[in-house]
Every structure is written in structure tokens, then in C-alpha cells.
Amino acid sequence: MDKRSEESSSSAGLTVVGLVLFAIVLVLVAPALSRAWFLLFSEKEDPSQSTKEFYTRLSDTVAQMKEGTKTEMLFSLNEDFVLVGLRKDQEVFSGNCDGVSLEIKKQLKCKGKGCICLCEKNVFTKDVCVLEGDICMPFEQDVVDTKSDCGILFVKPNVVATLAVKKEKDSIYINSLNSKELAN
């Protein structure tokens, strides 16, 4: 064999060894790089988004219902929100609902109207529906939960509930038929 063929076979051997080492390093490093890329450039998921979607679906359904109709729907709240409904003549509520001490003041846009609100739960006080980000929808009818122990619609945080909704001329009845607390 001449020198030239020895040199080309040894450089080909080094190329193969280099490629194999590169492949091994790539296999070991690629998962870490892809996870870092995902964390840096992916959109952050908003945990409150699904709760807001459930609220929008509920309020849209109630708004579109005809007088005398009823429906049932699944409703889910994460740990940061409560669902509240008040009658037209009820500007404030102070008391206990489902074992929770509450102070609720109706938003101005709901004054003199029935109201369904999705409110952020304030951990440090018992005030509910006082934050700027709370969402309320006014209705011409009273909003009532006839099965509630406190006379208002109140669905506490971190639950999945089946809501029975019935719309009448003067009232919207939203009763929680059953609820199950979500696991943390």
C-alpha cells in the first residue's frame, strides 16, 4: 500500500469516529436544548382561561335562552374564582354561603339588575367581586339559586358543578345540582 491510501483510510476512520461522537453528543444534549427552547419561546398558559370560558358560555347561554326554557351545563372553577349571582334588588350580600363568609357588593353596571359574576377570590379578606378584573353580566331578571343555603347563587372555588338553568319572565334560576371538589 502506498502512503496516500494509508492517509485517506486513516482520515476516513477519523471522520467516522468524529461523526459517531457528534451523534452521541447530539442525542444526549438535544432533549435539554429542546426543553430550554420550549420554555423560552412558548406561550405561557393562563390557568384562569378555562374558567373564564365556562363563565362566558354560561352567560351567553342565559342571554340567548327564551322565557320558559331550561338547560343543564357543566361548569368548572379553578381555585382563584367564585361564581356569584344576585337579584335585582340586592346591591350587597353579607353572610355565609356553603361554609364561606362573604361580603359581596354588586358592580355599578349591575345596579338595579340581576347579575351573574365571575369574581377573583381574595385570600386575605372576605370581600368578593370588588376587584377590577371581576367580570359581571347584568340581566333584567333576578338571578336566584333556590337550592342555596344563603339565597344567592354561589359556586365556590376549585369545583366542577352541574348547573340547572331555567329562565322565566321575572327570574333566572341557576341551581347547582351537584358539585365535586377538584384535586390540587
Same-domain pairing of 14 and 81:
no
Same-domain pairing of 37 and 88:
no
Report the C-alpha gap between 95 and 80 in whole angstroms: 20
Same-domain pairing of 92 and 170:
yes
Q: Which domain holds residue 8?
A: 1-42
Same-domain pairing of 4 and 57:
no
* Domain count within the chain: 2
Same-domain pairing of 11 and 70:
no
pLDDT tens for the chain, residues 1 to 184: 555 555 556 666 667 777 777 767 666 655 655 554 554 555 555 556 788 999 999 999 999 999 999 999 998 888 888 899 999 999 988 888 888 888 888 888 899 999 999 988 775 466 677 777 789 999 999 999 998 888 899 988 888 889 999 999 999 999 988 777 877 6
Same-domain pairing of 105 and 62:
yes
